[in-house]
Amino acid sequence: MWSDTKKVITILAVLLIAISVTGCTSDNNGNDNTQSSSTLSSDDGSDGFTNSLGMEFQYIESDTFTMGSAKYAASQPVHEVRLQESFYIGKYEVTQEQWMEVMGSNPSTSQGDKKPVETVSWNEVQQFIAKLNEKEGTDKYRLPTEAEWEYAARAGTTTLYSLGEMDEDEGPFLKDYAWYQVNSGGTTQNVGEKLPNPWGLYDTYGNVGEFVQDSWGDTYSAAKEDGSAVEKSGSTLTVARGGSYSSKDNALESAYRTKKDTRDADPMTGFRLVMDA
């Protein structure tokens, strides 16, 4: 009987050891397959992604959309874009805390860990991206193209804002979705405090303007049908989107564009990241 008891104890011990090592396996090459600090919210990554810095990304499925607006000369011609690749885009603007973790300093004018980083130039953002890619062991982080940014901000809508048609008496109200001239108090605010757009993205309107990868063009005459970035050799002009805490409501419209020098930094401009799917 004691012999049978020892056999049971031995079997239980083996099972406990097997359970304890689950999630820390090796492949045929002996590589550790322990889950990293970067996690997907679903098995196929179709919902979102969180990296080791806690940056949250939303998966955006590629599709065709109408880009631009007849309302502004710089947003013409209105044209169809067929995005070829799906991508992840930051749910939030990059924060000062995240910038600090990568760059080791905080240049922002209005300081606060959860506020968007600002007073950084487009060139400095490229340095941040290079260091982040190195830190994460990838080459997939980048700024969104201008087409990707507008596609994500529109979130399937064709109206001026992704809120749909607004009624001043019945809503929805822009102030519930954005920090801008009427409610910001003249400064940036913590990211994610307003309502998200239909695709779960926060602060696409207001708080800080957001750099994109493209070079500036006075019109969309050089726009690419596939939505890839328009990059002009030797150009020092780029684009910011979405308006800022100091903007009037029209500058927050999905199609509104602002010209920026890649070497300049100001307290009204920051960025959000894209990660290739």
CATH of the domain at 92: 3.90.1580.10
Residue 27 lies in a domain: no
Residue 264 lies in a domain: yes
Omega within 30 of 0 (cis) for the link into 172: yes
The ranges of the chain with pLDDT < 50 are 1-45
Residue 30 lies in a domain: no
Residue 11 lies in a domain: no
pLDDT at 47: 85
Residue 6 lies in a domain: no
Residue 246 lies in a domain: yes
pLDDT at 22: 36
Strands 87-90 and 274-276: antiparallel
Q: What pTM value is reported for the model?
A: 0.84
Residue 23 lies in a domain: no
H/E element holding 146? Answer: helix 146-154
pLDDT at 144: 98
Reported for 190-194, long-range contacts at CB under 8 A and 24+ positions apart, including other chains, are 190/112, 190/114, 190/115, 191/92, 191/93, 191/95, 191/114, 191/115, 191/116, 192/91, 192/92, 192/114
State how many domains the chain has.
Answer: 1
Strand-pair partners of 80: 66
55: containing domain: 38-276
The values of phi and psi at residue 59, to 5°, are: -75, 130
Residue 110 lies in a domain: yes
pLDDT at 155: 97
Kindly state the tokens that stand for 12.
């239980």
pLDDT at 211: 98
Would you tell me the crossing angle of helices 96-103 and 122-136 to the nearest 10 degrees? 70
Cα radius of gyration (the chain): 23
